[in-house]
Structure 1
Amino acid sequence: MTPERNTTMTDRPDTPRLTDRAEAARLARLEREAEALRANLRRRKQQSRARTTPPEAAPQDTSGNEA
C-alpha cells in the first residue's frame, strides 16, 4: 500500500512559466510604470508647493534710498 500524498496546485510541475520574451516585456512594463509613478509624484509635489506658496510680492527696497 502506497501512502497517499496531499497535492496542491503548487506541486504541479507543469505550471505556466513566462517565456524570456514575455518576462522581458513584463520587466519593461514595470519599469515604465515605476517611472510614470515617480513623474506623477513629482508633479503632485510641485502642484502642492505652488498652492501653499503665497504669490511673490514685488521686492521691497530696504536700502533707504528713495528714487
Structure 2
Amino acid sequence: MAGAPVVSAAVTREGRLKAALKANMARRKAQARGRAEGSGPEVGTHGQRGGDLGSGEGG
C-alpha cells in the first residue's frame, strides 16, 4: 500500500496545477481584453514615471 499515497499526491498536484493554469489563462484573457479596449493599466509601467530614464548627468 505504499504506492497509493504517491499516486494520490501526483493526482492532487496535477489538480492544483490544472486549477492554477486555468486561473492564469483567465487572468491573461482579461488583460488582453482590457488592452484591446484601451482601458486599464499598461503592463510594465508600475512605479515608473515617464521621462525619468536617462534624465541625469553622468553614466
Structure number with the bigger relative contact order (C-alpha 8 A, sep ≥ 6) is 2
Name the counterpart of 2:13. 29
RMSD (CA atoms):
1.4
Higher helix share: 2
| TM-score calculated relative to the size of structure 1 | 0.53
Quote the offset at 1:27 in angstroms. Answer: 0.1
Quote the offset at 1:54 in angstroms. Answer: 3.5
Name the counterpart of 1:47. 31
| TM-score calculated relative to the size of structure 2 | 0.60
Could you list the structure 1 runs, at least 4 aligned residues long, displaced by more than 6 angstroms after superposition. none
Over alpha carbons, which structure has the higher Rg?
A: 1
- How many aligned positions are there? 38
Structure 2 unaligned regions, length at least 5:
40-59
Cα distance in 2, alignment partners of residues 40 and 34 from structure 1: 10
